[in-house]
Amino acid sequence: MVVKFGYPYVINSGGVFGLFPGTVWIQPLVVVACSIVFGYWVVRSKRASRQELVVIGLFAGGGFANLLDRLRFGGVVDFIDIGIFTSFNLADLAIVGGLVIFLCQRTFQVILNNLNKNKI
């Protein structure tokens, strides 16, 4: 398999990585709602870990960067293409990176909690 790398200029009217095409104005509502929920959670918990703050920063940064593109261009500008997947941008990478960190953190937290419960 040959992987081609390129820099296309694509206006994406869908969600992250081109999913859900044609949903231009639903995405900003999701970004704002998620940012409010995450912000409320951080303020309410008063003890968010560094990893949680990084995750929130990646989600919010990626979401708001895509939101600015939508307001300015009517869609998100995707400019990275690695040939084996749809084109994407750095904001998409931030959102997905935040999700991966979040899932890894939660998974390890559950495993450690279970191990500590089973200690005698």
What tokens were used for 120?
């005698």
Task: Please indicate whether residue 92 is annotated as part of the active site.
Answer: yes
Please, what is the end-to-end C-alpha distance for the chain in angstroms? 52
Strand runs (DSSP E) across the chain, as ranges? 10-12, 76-78
Query: Which is the catalytic residue, given 78, 87, 94, 95?
Result: 78
Query: Which of 15, 27, 58, 92 is an active site residue?
Result: 92
Instruction: Specify the amino acid at residue 94.
Output: A
108's tokens: 């390890």
Whether 81 sits among the annotated catalytic residues: the reply is no
Distance, in Å, from the CA atom of 24 to the CA atom of 53, rounded to the nearest integer, reads 28
Spatial contact of 38 and 60, defined as CB atoms under 8 Å apart: yes
Q: Are 85 and 17 in contact (CB under 8 A)?
A: yes
Residues that are catalytic: 78, 92
